[in-house]
Structure 1
Amino acid sequence: MSGNNSFQPPWYFRSGQVQTILASSHFRAWGKNPVRDAAREIIIETPEGVRLQGYHSSRGSAISRGLVILLHGWEGSVDSSYIACTGKALYHRGYDIFRLNFRDHGSSHHLNRGIFYAVLLEEVFQAVQQISRMEEEKPVFLVGFSLGGNFALRIARQMRHAPIDNIRHVVGISPVLDPQKATDIIDCQPFIRKYFLKKWLESLKIKQQLFPDVYDFSELFSLSTIQAVTDHMLDRFSDYKSASDYFKAYSIVNNAIEDLPVPTTIIAAADDPIIPVEDFYQLKLNHRTKLIIHTYGGHNGFIDG
């Protein structure tokens, strides 16, 4: 475990809020991207019949250093700027790229009647398992951002019982550790709250339009906080008795990821406006897990120019 101040952006990029905004800015993803150009859509179906959408960008006849699976954050997608930019950088460095959409993210709402919950680890684990088997002759690296970082770390934990042999390293960038804290913090920041709330409600509208016989979210559209929408969603459309129970089900605080069986790196920033840095210092980690905390970087940022 270590603090690390090697990331030193220019002074005008040092604000955690600025870094967080730039992480998802469409300006970053402008221009030609060989990952998008080479992408082939793949629909992965789990044994339970869940279908998840992904995009595989192979280097073709060029020598590949391995496959990197990228997991986006909540209400992000395979086209999020931080996914596109990371994929492009790694592709140029010799890696094949697989960008996976969670259920009901990107353009995948039509694939499943059921709605997305962050507790749906098994379907994402099975997708990562299948993707890794597709490239069984290559080393595989799993990288997740924000909620995707939370998924990546839980997948690493699940590998204690169901190893994925060719996964060589797992990386969680700005991973959500305590979902209740993150929700409270988002709801206290008007700009960030409006950003996530707008995206979530737009996503639910799409789901309702696709499955009008199953979903009526009309009561949600007047709610003004993430917590309020969460409470209503869980009450109407889940078996969870409370948001507290739901959040605890995918929380990874304290010793929750202490015994990861695969080399893992967690990257965070002290100025992350969503994930409290003290929660990272309270993690109990084994010798295979490295914690890097930069002074700057915001949430999913780490942009130096």
Structure 2
Amino acid sequence: MFDEARLEDLRIQVLHSRERAPWLGGDLQTVAHRITYRDLPIPGIETPMQFPLRDGSGDIMTGTLHDPGKGGPLVILLHGVAGSEDSVYIKATARHLAEQGRRVLRLNHRGAGSSLASCSVTYQCAGTAEIIDILDTLPDGLTERGIFLCGFSMGGTILLNTLAELGRDLRICGAMTVSAPLDLIASSSRMNRRRNLIYQKALLGTLMGLERKLCGSGRLLDENPLPRPRSLLEYDELFTAPRHGFANAADYYRRASPFLRLGQIKVPVVMLHAENDPWINSDPYQRVNESGCSNFRIFLTPYGGHVGFHFRGRPRPFFLDVLTHTLGEIGG
């Protein structure tokens, strides 16, 4: 499933990685991509895509396909909380893959990005049915070489829950997560620390902007005035949990955490996480590493922040090198 000799070289690179100045510390690593990103063209034929969901809601998810014409597995990118297909790390990853000749789909989660105009609800960590719908409706011509999934932050959580739901699916040749929350209760506790108030304010601003647009569109069934959550925990208590059938935020976190379901995943999965991630704790990754699951490989770096990984001697984020290596491992 994995070539251990080739992975050993990657492990050595992880152990010797050091932060690149001036992005020192987890916080600067986390925000660096917003400051340094250059919006360059992504190679290949660009095709907008729509994916009608099969739950009777009439909702339609959207994305953008980039096809440089060289084949290989289709790589599907899943963005994180308060993001979209236009998040800078998604576009940087798509460009990196397309420059290698790989087909890549930048997906908007339900109610994110351009899909907000055609959806009645927003996405959540247990939203596996939407991803399965998309996998089932992709044209055969895109998937004849297989499908590789890469999820960032919350997108990684959704990805892992989907893989656990699917079990053994021959269409999927592998997957990778970057800075994904495995234990939502622990992640919520970490995010709610006083030091993270500025992050919460920024994320809540984006999420509540989506809620106001949904409310203004008339697609929300609840016509009561929008509440004003003061934290992501309150947001999940007031919006996510009741909207998606959970008793409360604690019930949502418990049922949507992929940690206890990882044993149901049957495809090769690489996980990259930083110990100094200010949002997501690393303890669950250490426990997965100790579990001995043969289809998981954990790369836990001392540095990197949240979806950062800006290291010395590397012109691009380290997660792009890990992704390229992983695709090479599965023959993509």
Using structure 2 for the length normalisation, give the TM-score.
Answer: 0.81
Counterpart check, 1:20 vs 2:30: yes
- Contact 1:72 1:101 (8 Å CA) reproduced: yes
- Contact 1:58 1:96 (8 Å CA) reproduced: yes
Give, in whole Å, the separation in 2 of the partners of 1:22 and 1:190: 18
Quote the residue 1:277 is aligned against.
Answer: 282
Q: Map 1:91-240; keep pairs closer than 5 Å.
A: 91-131=98-138, 133-160=140-167, 163=169, 165-188=170-193, 189-211=196-218, 214-216=221-223, 218-221=225-228, 223-234=229-240, 237-240=243-246
Give, in whole Å, the separation in 2 of the partners of 1:236 and 1:66: 37
Give, in whole Å, the separation in 1 of the partners of 2:140 and 2:254: 31
Judge which range, 259-268 or 6-15, deviates more. 6-15
Give, in whole Å, the separation in 1 of the partners of 2:218 and 2:296: 42
TM-fit CA distance, 1:285:
5.0
User: Match for 2:200: what amino acid?
Assistant: R
- Contact 1:19 1:301 (8 Å CA) reproduced: yes
Structure 1 residues 14 and 27, CA gap change in structure 2 (3 angstroms): closer
Quote the residue 1:55 is aligned against.
Answer: 64
Alpha-carbon RMSD: 2.3
Unaligned runs of 5+ in 1: none
Greater RCO between the two (CA within 8 Å, min separation 6)?
A: 1
TM-fit CA distance, 1:146:
0.5
Judge which range, 264-273 or 179-188, deviates more. 179-188
Judge which range, 226-235 or 105-114, deviates more. 226-235
TM-fit CA distance, 1:13:
1.9
Give, in whole Å, the separation in 2 of the partners of 1:295 and 1:132: 41
Judge which range, 98-107 or 235-244, deviates more. 235-244
Structure 1 residues 217 and 149, CA gap change in structure 2 (3 angstroms): farther
Q: Map 1:31-46; keep pairs closer than 5 Å.
A: 31-35=39-43, 38-46=45-53
- Contact 2:62 2:107 (8 Å CA) reproduced: yes
Give, in whole Å, the separation in 2 of the partners of 1:33 and 1:232: 39
Q: Map 1:235-250; keep pairs closer than 5 Å.
A: 237-250=243-256
Give, in whole Å, the separation in 1 of the partners of 2:32 and 2:102: 25
- Deviation per CA, 1:90-142: give whole Å up to 9, x if none: 11112011011111111211212234332221111221343374423223211
Quote the residue 2:324 is aligned against.
Answer: none
TM-fit CA distance, 1:166:
3.1
- Contact 2:124 2:240 (8 Å CA) reproduced: no
- Deviation per CA, 1:177-236: give whole Å up to 9, x if none: 122222232222111111111111111111111126624463423x32111222122575
- Contact 2:150 2:175 (8 Å CA) reproduced: yes
Percent sequence identity is 21
Structure 1 residues 73 and 91, CA gap change in structure 2 (3 angstroms): same
User: Match for 1:249: what amino acid?
Assistant: R
Quote the residue 2:20 is aligned against.
Answer: 10
Structure 1 residues 216 and 27, CA gap change in structure 2 (3 angstroms): farther
Structure having the higher helix fraction is: 2
Judge which range, 287-296 or 8-17, deviates more. 8-17
DSSP 3-state at the match of 1:34? coil
- Deviation per CA, 1:77-100: give whole Å up to 9, x if none: 000011011111111112011011
- Contact 2:241 2:252 (8 Å CA) reproduced: no
Judge which range, 67-76 or 275-284, deviates more. 275-284
Quote the residue 1:75 is aligned against.
Answer: 82
Unaligned runs of 5+ in 2: 1-6, 316-332
Give, in whole Å, the separation in 2 of the partners of 1:31 and 1:46: 31
